[in-house]
Amino acid sequence: MIARRVHLHEIIICVLSVLAPALAMAAEVPAPRPIVGAIRWDAWTGGAVTEQVERTLGPEKYHDRLPWFTEVVGKDQVRIDGSLQRVMDQEIGFAADAGLDYWAFLVYPESNPMSVALKQYLMSPDRGRINFCLILHNSLLVSDEQWPKERDRAVALLKQPGYQKVLGGRPLVYVFTGKRPPFDRYSKFLAAAKESGLHPYSVFMGWNPPADFRSVSTKGFDAVSAYAKSGNQAEFGQLALAVEKDYWQAAAEAQVPYVPLVTTGWDKRPRQDHPVSWERGHAYHEQKVFPSRATPQDIADHLQRAIEFVRTYGEICAAQAVIIYAWNEYDEGGWLAPTRAADGTPDVRRLEAIRSVLKADR
């Protein structure tokens, strides 16, 4: 018998026929999920601000919005004490179990009670379960005497274990400072960070992605995003669609570097009933209609669309990141963190809903 000569092209065809199913499956695998974080506004750990939010959420009609660790002491009176280390340790568990990658802490001066939660996080034995980053805020507005200390504190935090990095090692830094940001202070922070061998990825939180980026791209910022979006829509779904149209699509159409915001709500009626000192005279005091409360599934669906947006518009979403408003803006209307259920237990339904998105997409 004479053996048939096997030609090279036949071998190649044979190999490809074996590999074809695997190659097809690989082509169908979606891109890795972007990192997803949530904003922390920590007004719940003591001091004058806590006293005011105890009044905003004190009326019985708002008790279903209370932080999970609240004590109800009367029909219209509550005691909120999030200063205990066990509260932070449990919140880390809540967030990590839901699949969140990082918290973005709104930074206040180190001596301010609003900085207690960040200190608790840094002290927690469980901190490795979720990363953190900074939203530079009131720390940029301190006196000239305080500024060098706050600048150096912020740079030191960027070096902490677990600080959220993007793009192969750049510390993720958000900035939210109101209508007139102190760009001179921020440039000094960036200079100090670079002198320490760091190259932050700087994201300005504004209100109009194209206009914002035109304003800040020459001031050391790499991208834009937003802290929140107000609205007078009747339904949460309409608010979410406004975020997607006015923020996400505006950024995509203008091709500006962007980190998409996901909203969990907006309802400031508690602050209408009991005005807070830092928002006197704001326009929402005259607002008659606020969006309805989001269901857990509403939030999960909105988040899923944000993840798909990052995948679709990877050229502008270079950081591969999403930011959620918010972890704990209970009296402003946006939260993921558990509330206090009627029986006193933590209501984790919102976290369970986003877990179905975040854990399934890993």
What pLDDT, in 10s, does the model give residues 324-344?
A: 999 999 999 999 999 999 999
Cα–Cα distance for residue pair 154/156, rounded to 1 Å: 5
- Looking at 166-295, list the stretches that DSSP marks H as alpha helix, in order from N- to C-terminal side: 183-195, 209-216, 236-243, 250-254, 269-273
**What pLDDT is attached to residue 11?**
43
Q: What is the pTM of this model?
A: 0.91
**What pLDDT is attached to residue 361?**
72
**What pLDDT is attached to residue 180?**
73
**What pLDDT is attached to residue 28?**
52
Task: From residue 79, give the alpha-carbon distance in Å to each of 54, 63, 67, 70, 116.
Answer: 6, 11, 10, 6, 17
CB atoms within 10 A of CB 286: 7
**What pLDDT is attached to residue 13?**
45
Low-confidence ranges of the chain (pLDDT < 70): 1-30, 362
**What pLDDT is attached to residue 178?**
76
**What pLDDT is attached to residue 177?**
84
Residue found by looking up tokens 């996400």 in the block: 248
Task: From residue 216, give the alpha-carbon distance in Å to each of 244, 257, 285, 336.
Answer: 22, 11, 30, 30
Structural domains in the chain, CATH included, are 32-358 (3.20.20.80)
- Are 45 and 83 contacting, i.e. CB atoms less than 8 angstroms apart? yes
What pLDDT, in 10s, does the model give residues 33-57?
A: 999 999 999 999 999 999 999 999 9
